[in-house]
Each structure stands twice: as structure tokens, then as C-alpha cells.
Amino acid sequence: MDSSHGGPLAATLHDLQQIFGDRLQAFVAHGRPDESPAASLAIVRSVTADDLAACATRVSSWLRSGSGTPLILSRDEFAGSLDAFPIEFGAIIETHRVLFGEDPFAGLSIRPDDLRRACEVQVKSHLLHLRENYIECGGRPSAVASLVADSAPGFAALLRRLASLDGMPHETDAELGAYAAARPGLDPRVVGNLVAIMASGSSAGVDAVRLFPAYLAAVEQLARFIDGWKSQEVLRS
């Protein structure tokens, strides 16, 4: 695709073409189309310290134009890291839009076991931080309210990753609530309150102090669920 169609990434693509020449094999945007700064990834045959130094001289202009710093790696590096970054690289594969070259991710996919393991790490990390941060709140209602509001988006993101792992619809709040009740067995009222907090960016209208024990119990249930997770295909067989 011509770089003139790359929006805020057009200048980044042009610069990368100048730096890497024919070693630039593909350039893709990823994430939400309206995301700022725009996220991108360059697939190259090779990358040297001189290449990085050349990119460093241009990064300020990229940021001014609305482009984030692109990830730069070879296709083999990307493919070989799918097991290490299944959530992050899976999201790139799922949302990418090719701006230059051929689709670099053709034939690549995330293994469900790798995604399950990554989800387990994130769920259990969320649980441990929730407990630790609650203790640090010292019982102050305003601090507990902030903790619930600040952590609610992470909770919703975890649920969406688990729904994706299960191959279940999860784009709307209603779909997410239905999934949470059907598979991990969470209280839909708790999930609804947390999603509402996430949407508003505040715990206003929700008694966060009263909600916290149920919230904690929901995350504990998620940890148990991911420990014993079996795919929908296995359950149907």
C-alpha cells in the first residue's frame, strides 16, 4: 500500500523505507484505528545498531505526527516469540492492517495453551496486586474506591481475554456479562458494576467499599477457573 494512505504512520513508513531500504519487508498498523499514538510494527530482514540510531533521530517527528515508536523485528523473531507474548502478539495479528508489503502474519496463530498460560499469569497477578493494594489502602473508603475504579479496566480486559480464549462473544458489555456468568461462574451483578465503573472511569454511584469483597471473590474464582480451564471443544467432546 502507498504510504500516503497511512495517516499518521505515513511519515514513519517513509522514514523506515529510507533507513532499511529493501530490508523492510512489511509495515503494519495495529490496535484501534483511532488510537493515539498510532501503533505499528515493521518486519525487516535484519536490524543493526546503526538502524536503531537512525530511527532515534526521527522519533520526535514521529510522535509529533501522532505515530508511536514502531516495533522492529524480523518475521522469525515475531514467529518465535508467539509463545512468550501470546496476548500482545495475538492482538497484533488480530487487529493488524498492512500498510506496506505482504501480510507478514499469514500462517501464524497463537496456541491456546500459550494463551491460557499467559492469562493465568495475568489473572493471578491481578489477584495478588488487588490484595496487596487493598491492605495499603489502610481501610480508607476513598482509597478503596480509587483501587476499585483503577483496577476495573484490567479486570474487564482479563475477562475479554478469557472469552477470546474460549471463542465466545465478548465485544459488548452484555456479551461479556453473559460469558462471565456462563463460563467462570461469576456473579453478573458484580461484573455489571465493575463494567459500569470502567465505562465511567469512576466508582461514583457504586458503593466500592461494599463491592470490594465480591470483586475480590470474583477474581479468586477467575484464578480457580483458569487453573482448571478446558477448551469448549474439549467440553463438547
**Domain ranges (residues) in the chain:** 3-101, 112-230
Other Cβ atoms less than 10 A from the Cβ of 32: the count is: 10
What three-state secondary structure class fits 26? strand
Residue 203 confidence (pLDDT): 61
Residue 23 confidence (pLDDT): 98
Residue 165 confidence (pLDDT): 86
What three-state secondary structure class fits 57? coil
Residues of the chain with pLDDT under 50: 1-4, 233-237
Residue 207 confidence (pLDDT): 82
Residue 146 confidence (pLDDT): 92
Residue 204 confidence (pLDDT): 59
pTM for the model stands at: 0.76
CA 15, CA 135: separation in Å to the nearest integer? 49
Residue 218 confidence (pLDDT): 96
